[in-house]
Structure 1
């Protein structure tokens, strides 16, 4: 959710629906990885939008008040390092090339520039983050969420990590109450806290 708020929006029932996924090389789910990555980078942009606000949005902040991510890629370089087989490495490299729009293996500088973990460490503002990740994720290792979680806590940020036992990437369990409910409760707690702060500040929080 972006700031400024007003009241929190009604819970969207689509949150509980399975994510649409386009499979790349029968191994890597490209669409869900791309969406999670872009949301994570947006969260640590320090209110710098990638575009120019127009019209009624000129006074709207790019700052996110909270972030919920399922099985995100937070460091493309580490994704390659974590590959345990040649096929896994090739699949990850193909996905990264497609995402970055480069014809060959990206350089270390390119990989470092895309790291969500590094962006979270640099950021002046870090929204509360709720992460859910399968313990048996074969496409995006659990360490991807663990690194971001630990980096946020080390910087004094707020992060919750739900590890789902036995779950692989985009497992159907991620659309069940066992995973959705903790994320919704996390968002409601953040929004309620922000509303109380906003009220105490005379409605001046943005």
Structure 2
């Protein structure tokens, strides 16, 4: 567990924002990932919300130099295994189940489990997890909620995701118990559809500069 935690931390410390991507068109996966990496966002979460998601993970993992490919919206052990087989180096879930924790034990890929309450975070701590996804961040209490957890759950780190944008990202990143945030704003659908990779690289660079 310690080794997996260290590997996960090394990924999440790469940048202040982890792009959370929904890939609709497989042809966009590689150029999109290259644009994000060019802007400094190397760790990339591709969510399993579309039929091409696994193929997109595989393509990015194989073809995009410098990318650290992750898989999100992992809901069950089958998703977990398929994502790892496709090349995912880290796994992200919106919540946590006993089956997912068992799957994490069975695979080398690091696991970022989801929690949205103090009780869920405490359960994960009891399982040995010190780094968690806080989702859905804005709807579950936002930065104020995480700030309130920082003292009673000292030593626990969060990657809040959900409703975060360039405007409110620093509300989270300024907290001592936030290691990074997840966000989709760095790859807006309209820019992806237009193939505006330069525009996405610019957004990625702006995101990287948040904590510079």
TM-score normalised according to structure 2 size: 0.29
* Greater share of residues in strand: 2
TM-score normalised according to structure 1 size: 0.30
Question: Radius of gyration: which is bigger?
Answer: 1
